[in-house]
């Protein structure tokens, strides 16, 4: 028994807690939270207690990302006012009755001359993630690739052009056939898309009016405001808008929308059926001195802005 008690004493001496060592002071500059250090300076007394905190302004101002807006009700919307003018949208859900939109969708899906266009980006060719076709007396160039003129309008498209022109009578059109061309896009599923861009090629003239008619499955149409020069192309804090475009919906983009905003239809990672998007527009001969498909610089539009505002 004495041997067991002796072993217990030895084991207990090994397990005995060591006395606490004084904790070395950590300079404030080595604080584990550098973000907090940018906000304030801690004062410490000789006894080791903190006396108070002196707050300084952060190096960069704290900015909130604007909340994304959703437009899903019929109406006219002024989405921004800027040096280039007023940017306007008109949303008309149910522009085409459901049954009428159904047979139009099936007919256009089967009978239009759909093809996959090749574009150039950073010197390399790539296939657009959608199918397209073009109707108009003039060719249309964008992304350094040209679609040939095509005057053989499908009869259904000619009827739709008249209907859309009349509906857009208060948005830059005087009624009748105010659109002379049409770019058709087919999104085969949710993986087809179109990236951020503006329809501001020089061939579309100053302050172009674009009317977009959707048929088929719903997709989200997104807009983002172009950042001011001091942001150096950073889109983090710009205004953003989302518009769900359903079967038979008409969307009109007017005013300075193409000058001041970009738009896209992003990829979606859940099941989406095919969708057709008809974008009616007016195209003109390229201005003298402009390379086909180039963007029209803001300064070239300022005279028109001043004349209409």
Comparing 54-68, 74-88, 293-307, the range with the smallest average pLDDT is 293-307
pLDDT confidence of 53, banded at 50, 70, 90? low
Average pLDDT, integer, range 236-257: 97
The structural architecture, per CATH, of the domain 78-301 is: Sandwich (2.60)
pLDDT of residue 210: 97
Domain edges within the chain: 78-301
pLDDT of residue 281: 96
pLDDT confidence of 270, banded at 50, 70, 90? confident
pLDDT of residue 119: 83
User: What is the rounded CA–CA span in Å between residue 264 and residue 251?
Assistant: 14
pLDDT of residue 63: 87
Query: 87, 79 in Cβ contact below 8 A?
Result: yes
pTM for the predicted model, two decimal places? 0.75
pLDDT of residue 157: 98
Query: 194, 185 in Cβ contact below 8 A?
Result: yes
Give the three-state DSSP class for 215.
strand
Percentage of the chain beyond pLDDT 70 is: 71
Residue 236 has pLDDT above 80, yes or no: yes
pLDDT of residue 114: 98
Assigned token pair, 99: 């049954």
What's the Cα-to-Cα distance from 284 to each of 145, 203, 213, 243, 293, rounded to whole Å? 17, 5, 22, 29, 12
- Looking at per-residue pLDDT, the higher value among 290 and 78 belongs to 78
Assigned token pair, 96: 């085409």
Across 7-16, 23-32, 256-265, 285-294, the highest mean pLDDT is recorded for 256-265
Q: What is the pLDDT of residues 118-157, one digit of tens each?
A: 888 888 888 999 999 999 999 999 888 899 999 999 999 9
- Looking at per-residue pLDDT, the higher value among 20 and 202 belongs to 202
Phi/psi of residue 141, nearest 5 degrees: -115, 125
Query: 300, 215 in Cβ contact below 8 A?
Result: no
Residue 301 has pLDDT above 50, yes or no: no
pLDDT confidence of 32, banded at 50, 70, 90? very low
Across 107-111, 170-174, 292-296, the highest mean pLDDT is recorded for 107-111
Identify the bridge partners of residue 223 per DSSP, sorted by sequence position.
241, 263
């Amino acid at each position: 028994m004495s041997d067991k008690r002796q072993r217990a004493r030895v084991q207990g001496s090994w397990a005995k807690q060591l006395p606490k060592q004084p904790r070395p002071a950590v300079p404030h500059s080595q604080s584990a939270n550098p973000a907090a250090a940018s906000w304030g300076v801690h004062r410490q007394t000789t006894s080791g207690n903190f006396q108070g905190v002196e707050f300084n302004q952060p190096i960069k101002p704290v900015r909130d990302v604007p909340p994304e807006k959703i437009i899903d009700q019929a109406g006219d919307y002024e989405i921004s006012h800027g040096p280039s003018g007023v940017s306007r949208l008109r949303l008309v859900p149910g522009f085409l009755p459901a049954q009428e939109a159904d047979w139009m969708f099936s007919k256009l899906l089967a009978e239009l001359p759909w093809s996959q266009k090749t574009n150039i980006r950073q010197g390399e060719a790539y296939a657009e993630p959608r199918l397209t076709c073009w109707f108009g007396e003039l060719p249309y160039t964008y992304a350094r690739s040209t679609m040939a003129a095509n005057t053989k309008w499908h009869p259904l498209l000619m009827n739709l052009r008249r209907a859309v022109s009349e509906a857009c009578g208060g948005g830059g059109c005087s009624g009748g056939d105010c659109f002379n061309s049409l770019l058709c896009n087919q999104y085969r599923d949710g993986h087809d898309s179109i990236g951020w861009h503006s329809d501001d090629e020089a061939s579309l003239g100053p302050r172009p009016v674009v009317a977009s008619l959707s048929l088929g499955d719903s997709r989200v149409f997104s807009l983002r405001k172009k950042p001011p020069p001091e942001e150096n192309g950073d889109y983090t804090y710009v205004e953003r808008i989302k518009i769900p475009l359903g079967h038979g919906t008409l969307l009109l983009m007017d005013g300075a929308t193409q000058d001041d905003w970009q738009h896209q239809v992003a990829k979606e990672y859940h099941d989406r059926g095919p969708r057709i998007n008809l974008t009616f527009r007016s195209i003109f001969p390229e201005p003298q001195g402009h390379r086909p498909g180039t963007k029209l610089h803001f300064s070239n539009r300022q005279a028109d802005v001043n004349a209409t505002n």
